[in-house]
Amino acid sequence: MLDFRHIFARFARLAPVLPLLLCLAVPARASGPDGEGIAALLGSPDPAERSMGLSVLAGRGQDALPGLIRAMTDPSARIRRGAVIGVALQPAPALADDGLLRALRDDDATVRSLAAHTLARIGEPVAGDLAALLGDPDDKVRVAAALALSRMGTGAIPALCSALDSPDPAVTAKAAWLLGALGSDGLPAVPALTRALGTSDMRLVHVLAETIDLIGPAPAMACQELALIGLRTGCPVTRIGGGAAPTLVKLLARPGTPLGHMALYALARMGSEAEPALRAALATGTEGQKAAAALLLTGIDPTLAHSLPEDLRKTLAGTMHIQ
């Protein structure tokens, strides 16, 4: 007969550690903290705990995502921070885009910043949502959205071009500023920026014009786009139409700038079609607009020089040899 007494004796000695051995026998993916627990570790001020959180997250992979999404609404800012970090490290953070967009409105600045960086990684699919937040009443949200869009680079161009059509001048100005920050990479946005110059808000005109100057399109491209202002169809033309004249005259308020020079050149090419807009500028424009309008009008009809106001005649006397 077999003697089982020694087996039972060994089992009794192993009983205290048996639960631990059973845990080790279970696959790592099913053990350890869930998503909320991982968020708590990743948001910890203790480097050792953060390292543990990274290790556990690597083991659980995408299975941790539902818990991380839940943790993004936790009362603790520390856990919300860790949750966004965890989502950012996921192979498909776009699965949590709704939660990340909500996180841009978080009371905690670090959560907002982390969410912005993560949304930037998602890129164009959320660019439109971010552009809409440029008009949020909370300045912190606007800053976080702008940060995310700026980190997307050229991927944000389509959404920012759409934002140029916003009825809110502040949104248009922010979108233009972000496009200008791209420099020459923002070239695809020049047509939309040029169309937006039709606004009646002169402050916005200056912002848009400065953006175009920062991007630096070739003069031929700038003139062609200026020619299309005011046209109801997008059909390219070789001749500048009179519909563009009022907008071009606005740009005369920016003497010495590249787009100001292009506007002057375009109006000169337009000839008599520009006369109504130039006469309006002569009456109500800035000093720079009046001087440029007077110069252009005398080019259309030299006899007009003698009907100009005295101050403008003196200004143009050296150029036009007016007596």
* DSSP 8-class letter at 165: T
User: Which pLDDT band holds residue 231 (cuts at 50, 70, 90)?
Assistant: low
Spatial CB neighbours of 289, under 8 Å, sequence gap ≥ 6: 249, 250, 252, 253, 281
Q: How far apart are CA 177 and CA 95, in angstroms?
A: 30
- What's the pLDDT score for residue 11? 38
Q: For the chain, what is the mean pLDDT?
A: 82
Q: How many CB atoms lie within 10 A of CB 121?
A: 15
pLDDT digit string, tens, across residues 244-263: 888 888 998 888 899 988 98
pTM here is: 0.75
Closest CA to 101 of 72, 74, 75: 72
Q: How far apart are CA 303 and CA 307, in angstroms?
A: 8
- What's the pLDDT score for residue 318? 55
User: Which pLDDT band holds residue 4 (cuts at 50, 70, 90)?
Assistant: very low
Instruction: Among 95-104, 146-155, 182-191, 261-270, name the one with the lowest average pLDDT.
Output: 261-270
User: Which pLDDT band holds residue 311 (cuts at 50, 70, 90)?
Assistant: low
Encoded amino acid at 121, one letter: R
pLDDT digit string, tens, across residues 71-112: 999 999 999 999 999 999 998 999 999 999 999 889 998 999
Q: What's the average model confidence in pLDDT over 133-140?
A: 89
- What's the pLDDT score for residue 285? 81
- What's the pLDDT score for residue 276? 87
Whether residue 184 has pLDDT greater than 90: yes
Spatial CB neighbours of 22, under 8 Å, sequence gap ≥ 6: none
Q: What's the average model confidence in pLDDT over 207-215?
A: 95
How far from 261 is each of 86, 98, 223, 308, CA to CA, in Å? 52, 46, 10, 23
Closest CA to 229 of 253, 211, 205: 205
- What's the pLDDT score for residue 20? 37
pLDDT digit string, tens, across residues 52-74: 999 999 999 889 999 999 999 99
Q: What's the average model confidence in pLDDT over 296-314?
A: 71
Instruction: Among 7-21, 42-56, 180-194, 203-217, name the one with the lowest average pLDDT.
Output: 7-21
